[in-house]
Structure formats: C-alpha cells, structure tokens
Chain A
Amino acid sequence: MTALAAKLRWLLFALTLFTGFLLAGSATAQQASSVDPNASAVKEDQLLQQLHTVRGLGSIPDSKSYTLEQLAGPEWRHYHEVTLRWIGAICILGALAVLIFYYLTRGMIRIESGRSGRAIVRFGPYERFIHWMMAACFVILALSGLNITFGRPLLLPLMSPEAFSTLSAWSKYAHNYLSFPFTLSVILMFFMWVADNLPTRVDIEWLKRGGGMIGHDHPPAYRFNAGQKLLFWIVFLGGSAAAISGYMLIFPFYGTDVHTMQLAEIGHSIIAMLFIGTMLAHIYIGTIGMEGAFEAMGSGTVDVNWAKEHHQLWLEDEKAKARQAPAQARPSASPGD
C-alpha cells in the first residue's frame, strides 16, 4: 500500500515538474518573439527632427563634448558661405555704385556763395582725437574682418598659402586688440555728442526737404543735421552691437555655447557689412562729396559760408554765444572794480 502511494506520489511530482517545464518553455518562446531590444531605443532621425541637436552624457570632464550632433553647424556654414557673401557684396558694391552714380550726376556739392575766408571752430582737438581714433580702428577692423569673409576667394589666389596665413593671423590679432580702443571711442563719442544728436522738430523739416544731398537747397540745421544724427545713432547702436557680439566671440564659452557663438557671428557680420556700407557714404560726403566738409575734422575749423549754408542755426547760436561771452566775462573778470 505504502509502496503504491509512494510510486503515485513520484508520478505526480514528475507530472507537475513536466507541465511546469512545458509552461515555462512556452512562456520563454513567447517572450523571445515579442521582445525588440530596439523598441524603446533612441532614434537619430527622431532626435534631430525634434531637437535639431543630439545631446547626452559622457565620461570626459569637458561637457561641450556631450553634444553628439548639431545641425545648426551646417546651416551656419550655408550662411557664411552664401548668405553673408551676398550681404557683403550688396552692402559694399551697392554703396559704391550709388556713390559713383551720385558723383557722376551731382558732382561735388560746392559752397554756393564761395569761401568767405573767415573760419569758425567746429570740432575741438578732443573731438577730433576721438573721431580719428575711431576711424583708424574702424578701417583696420573692417579690412581685417572682410579678409575673413572675402580673403580666401580674393586674396589667397594672389599669394602663397603660408603668406596668406601669416597675413590673416596678424589681421586677426589686429581685429581682436583694436576692438578695445574702438569700443572706448564709441562710448566716449556717445557722451561727447549725444546732447547735440537728440531729434528735434527741425530734423523733420530737414528730412522733408531731402537734406543737402538729395534735395537741392539748404534746410536749416543746428550743430548736426538729421542725416548726421542718423549717422551718430548708427555708429553708437551699430558699434555697441558689433562690440558686444565681438566680445562674445573673443571670449569663447563664457556663458556661450557653440549655438550662441554662431548667432553672435551672424549678428556681428551683418552689422559689420551694413556699417561698412554706411561708412563708405560717410567718407564720401566728408571728402570728395562736399566742398569744405573735410576741414571740420581736419583742421577743426570750417568756412563761415559753409556753416551758413549747412548749419545755419548752429552758426547763429555760436555767434550769439560769442556776443555773450565777453559780456559775461567782464563782471567776473573785474570783481575788484
């Protein structure tokens, strides 16, 4: 009896074990066919479409290296290779074309009533120093900057790669270090001339009559006419923006990453091209465009007839001041009388 019971128990045990194995076997078979190790894995296309950049984690201390891929790079490349060259060509060649056309049709704007032979001080030594410090820096900054964009297609074919590399390296240093006196001159210029460059009602009239270059008469103006005021604000705002974006590039990775530096370079280069176009027009008016204009920044004095024609209200103010000055000076100079 006990022997039979023992045999039965063994049989039952074996059966249970067997069904257990069977069940387990079918379960693993089912599992193998349903599991895809890649089901929840990250997909490159998906990440790039969603984020435009793929970033993860790494074992290297340099966290910049955790960016696996950034598609903004090739887009920036297209800007630098195509868009910027068009912007530069339009700004510079466009400005030159307009100025040459203007010179050929209107020529130099003369002092209509001729020179009086009497001069009046327009810009003092300090003002001229700031102006020429800014101008000298600007010319070198502009040329060295243009070399980065246009040097490879235009200058490199004319010289050996080593010579061009040396030239570019020096112009890069000039660009970086001259940015400091340039920025300083923009700041000093702002405080020096801002009072004379606030827009007034006279400017609207001046603009309506097309100023001295587009119109054919001489609308009255104080120390600076509306065109000069516009230039002042272009230089101040453009110069500041160029300085800020430039310093973001000179000091890489101080609060910036590759993306902000790409944007800084785009901003910096567009501002620079517009700036260069504007300055071509400024240089034109200051030299061959208008008789008697260069002296203002050269010797610091202008002919009285020039002042009468271009800055009538300023001349009247200066005359009034000159009349008042001796009258004011007298009582203070002789207190003991």
Chain B
Amino acid sequence: MARMKFLCDADRCIECNACVTACKNEHEVPWGINRRRVVTLNDGKPGERSISMACMHCTDAPCQAVCPVDAFYTTADAVVLHSKDICIGCGYCFYACPFGAPQYPRIGNFGTRGKMDKCTFCAGGPEPDGSAAEYEKYGANRLAEGKLPLCAEMCSTKSLLAGDGDIIAQIYKERVVTRGYGSGAWGWKTAYGETVSS
C-alpha cells in the first residue's frame, strides 16, 4: 500500500485555480465550501508564489486527535477520512487543523454548523465504494477506481502532484536538480514531519 500525499511545486503554480474548480465539480461540493484553494503569497511583488492547498492527510492528524466523537479514520493508503454520520459539527477539527481544511456547510450560530466537509483525496467515505450514499456525502471515489485525485491529474503545469509520497518526492527532487532551484514542498514539515531536500 502506498502512503498518499499531496505536493505543490510553488515554482510552477500559475494560480489558475483549475484544481479548485475541478474539485468542486467532481464532488458536487456545496456552495460556500472549497475543499481546495490557491493562496498567493507576496501578490504582485518580486518572489510572488502561489500554493494550492487542501487537506494534507497528515501523519498523526490533529483533526483526528481532537475529535470528541472519534469520527475520523485513516485508510490503508494513509488517507485521513471521516464519517459524516458520526460528526456532530462541533468545530474542533477546524481549530486544530494547521491547513484550514475542515469546513462546515452553514455559518453555525447556536452550534448548527452541520456536518464537517473536507478533501477526501478523492477517496470517498465509510460507505461502500462508489455507492450513491457515498457520492452524496463525500463525492466521487476515484481512488477505488484506480485513479488519482482530479485536482492534481488535471493541473496544467503539473505543479500539484498527488500520489505515493516517495514517488512524488522523487519527481520533485529531479525537478529541483534540473532547474537548479526549488522553494520546497509546502506544508510537508507540518503535515508529515519531513521535508524534501534535493
């Protein structure tokens, strides 16, 4: 089994937001929720960089640790998923997540946020793979079909990489060696406790 990870090559990202759009469309993500988003740092200044960010499917995930009802689970591919049937919408995973991944369908006055929603690495939820119930709650399960997350698959500059951690780290290392520079694998230290050094 692979250890699935995301890696965004900030030196390639052109802030086209196609990953954001692809994700929304593929999973019919409700209005107001963006499982993936692109953040631009130093916008308009020299050294501007854009990074596409979603749930990083952390090793020892903070959301999973703080959940009062133990709604999260980690798959054999190390993808961090959750059950919307167990979730009580308390918001604790949102406080704990370093990447701002957990979101709620409603503003949530009086604690009525609704069930938490976040990136599933296109791996659905606890329902049977590819079932209608799974699609309705979590979106498409591409991983069960042998496909990788759509955001990375259709990235026009191949900035966003998704897949086995060792393989995407190797691809990134080769790029850094070839072009002679790299601003690092954003979020890896926080999510996985390691960095990619060329």
Contacts and interface: CB of A to CB of B under 8 A. Distances in A.
A210 B69 CA distance: 45
Contacts of A177: 110
A56 to B, nearest CB: 4
Contacts of B97: 73
Interface stretch (B32-40, B130-138, B142-150): B32-40
A58 B181 contact: no
Interface in B110-146: 110-111, 113
B165 to A, nearest CB: 18
A169 interface: yes
Contacts of B107: 252-253
A161 B86 contact: yes
Interface string A149-168: 10110001000011011001
A42 B47 contact: yes
B95 A76 contact: yes
Interface in A84-125: none
A176 B32 CA distance: 24
Given A41-B49, A152-B69, A172 B95 contact: no
Interface stretch (A7-15, A20-28, A61-69, A234-242): A61-69
A216 interface: no
Contacts of A39: 47
Interface residues of B, number: 59
A80 B96 contact: yes
Nearest to A261: B95
Q: How large is the interface on A (under 10, 10 to 19, 20 to 34, 35 or more residues)?
A: 35 or more
Main secondary structure of the interface of A (DSSP, over half): helix
Contacts of A37: 11, 181
B183 A44 contact: yes
Given A38-B183, A249-B91, A68 B41 contact: yes
Contacts of B53: 68-69
Given A41-B183, A44-B184, A168 B68 contact: yes
A167 to B, nearest CB: 9
B7 to A, nearest CB: 13
B163 interface: no
Given A68-B39, A162-B86, A73 B95 contact: yes
B92 interface: yes
A27 B54 CA distance: 43
A328 B104 CA distance: 66
Interface string B165-198: 0000000000000001111101101100000000
A162 B70 CA distance: 11
A54 B41 contact: yes
A66 B100 CA distance: 9
A221 B103 CA distance: 55
A60 B20 contact: yes
B70 A156 contact: yes
A42 B51 CA distance: 11
Contact of A169 (B88, B99, B186): B88
Contacts of A147: 68
A103 B139 CA distance: 59
A65 B39 contact: yes
B30 to A, nearest CB: 13
B6 interface: no
B69 A58 contact: no
A40 interface: yes
Given A58-B40, A69-B98, 12 more contacts: A41-B49, A44-B183, A44-B184, A59-B17, A69-B186, A73-B96, A162-B85, A173-B111, A177-B110, A251-B109, A258-B94, A265-B95
12 contacts: A36-B180, A38-B181, A43-B184, A56-B43, A57-B39, A59-B20, A65-B39, A69-B53, A71-B190, A76-B96, A80-B96, A173-B111
Interface of B: 10-11, 15, 17, 20, 32, 34, 37-43, 46-49, 51, 53, 62, 65-71, 83, 85-92, 94-100, 107-111, 113, 180-184, 186-187, 189-190
Which 9 residue pairs of A and B lie closest in terms of their CB atoms, listed nearest first? Answer: A40-B47, A56-B41, A38-B181, A41-B47, A77-B62, A56-B39, A77-B96, A176-B111, A68-B39
